[in-house]
Amino acid sequence: MISKISRGTDLPALVSYLFGPGRHNEHEMPRLVASASVLEDFPLGVTLTRDQVLALGREMDAMRIRHGIPALGALRPQKVGYGAGPGTRQQAGTDPGPGRGHGHVWQMSLSLPVGDRELTDEQWGAIAREAMDRLGFTEASGKEPVRWIAVRHGTSRSGNEHIHIAATIVRDDGTKASLSFEKRKMSAFAAEMEQKYGLVVVDGRATRGAPGLSRAEIERAAREGRGEADRTTLARVVREARTASKGEGEFVRRLSAAGVRVRPRYGAGEGAETVTGYSVSLRSKVGEPLWFGGNRLGPDLSLPKLREFWESSPEEIRASSEAWRQPARLGRVGNAVASDEWRRASKVLDAAYDKLQALPVSSPEWAGVAREVSGLYAAWSRRLEGDRPGPLARAADLLAEAGQVPPGQAPVRAGRGEYRGATMVVAQGHIGPAERGTGWAMLLVALHRHLAMVAKVEEARGRLRLATKLHETARRLEDAHGTAGGRPAEPRDLLPARRRDRPRAPGTEPGIGPDQRAPGR
């Protein structure tokens, strides 16, 4: 369930709009499903007459007029009508979409994703009344109520069920209702209704996703001829280093070896001994580097969250101080792995896959699995796609989203040795003609099976948007990296495009979906 809140200044016009045909005649059989108790004379579940709609608008706005409260706030005037043909009421009103201004008119839409179950008028009415109670708009708050209505139409043009709730924030005694934390309250309310009525859980509600890119970041990437913002690239590199590292010192060295600048942040009053955070940037010859703290890369990439991932002891944290001070001086991380390690790592992943078959869909361990596999895909992307990230990078980013957990909940570790070992093999193993058709190709196939499994888990949990993207990515990777004509994929099938191919602008790289991006560096 998705809630959208807006504000306006002309309540009768809004009421008239909600009972009218809509902008595109999409309002089929508009009817009241709930209202404030003082408006109970207006019938529920039927189409109101034009005179009833006009009377309802006047009753809604009566207390503001009685108490002499001006219609403060400014909205761009917009034609809003009721009915069609002669006698249609047209006047400047409030846009029921995302609002501008801060007037006394309050509106919220509650909508369900396309394909979700259909609720009855009675159920929608109960939801509306509970929402008003939660906001303190009713007698249940111990204060004078506001006047409000909930209107249901048919399905929208995009095919989703929804209702509109319109209210005045002027209480019957002339005081104004508080709107503090209204969006936060309604987001939590929508999550409760999803559980109560067995609705689809909206992606990102129960977890915290990665921070969105700013317009400036995207425009800078386009100016520099890169199709991916620095922050997107850095988040994947950090996830790869996290998964491949046994502890904090190794993590810092792996970042430096991957060409990432690292600088620590020290706790206040603790000198230069205790590192409490970090920032990273890509090495760039164009302009000043952009530095990002772990929290800005993703909620799972702050230093405290990374330490939960490694379960670092205080002694290990102190021992890593040298790596934070001079990461580039500590030399290469690890040695090149033998060719038979590819096959061994693929067998380990196959065994992990078999164990996961018995893991309940509701288990919190799936978030840990998604995080681990995200880091492994990030390593593959850096090795095979290089500075032109494609489907492998896409898989890493989607799995990172699937691996987020609610605030306050610690991530569940899953198969640390299994995935860490495979990530080290990918980061350090040799890929060449001698290894054609052997273990490294098997490792990719085993990894794609994990991706498909996580997609099925997300689907079973009701996170359909994310599940669809994961399924699409899995199919694309299976087609590209699976078997062709009975033989395993060869290195030339997986290596990135030729360097002379110019990177495209963000969002224009052909791929599996509209938000598939071209690579960064």
pLDDT digits (tens, 9 = 90+) for 480-509: 765 433 344 444 444 443 333 333 333 333
C-alpha–C-alpha distance, residues 512 and 469, integer Å: 8
Picking from 466, 443, 467, the residue whose alpha carbon sits closest to that of residue 380 is 443
Q: How far, in whole angstroms, is CA 433 from its chain's centroid?
A: 40
Which two three-digit tokens encode residue 406? Answer: 């609610």
CB 194 within 8 A of CB 200: yes
C-alpha–C-alpha distance, residues 37 and 173, integer Å: 15
**pTM for this structure?**
0.60
The per-residue pLDDT for 85 is 31
SS (H, E, C) 403-467: CCCCCCCCCCCCCHHHHHHHHHHHHHCCCCHHHCCCHHHHHHHHHHHHHHHHHHHHHHCCCHHHH
Which two three-digit tokens encode residue 96? Answer: 């029921």
Residues 131-140 have a mean pLDDT of 91
The per-residue pLDDT for 17 is 87
Q: In the structure, what pLDDT confidence band is assigned to residue 281 with cuts at 50, 70 and 90?
A: very high
Residue 394 has pLDDT above 70, yes or no: yes
Residue, of 357 and 386, whose pLDDT is higher: 357
Which two three-digit tokens encode residue 336? Answer: 């090149």
pLDDT digits (tens, 9 = 90+) for 85-97: 333 333 333 333 3
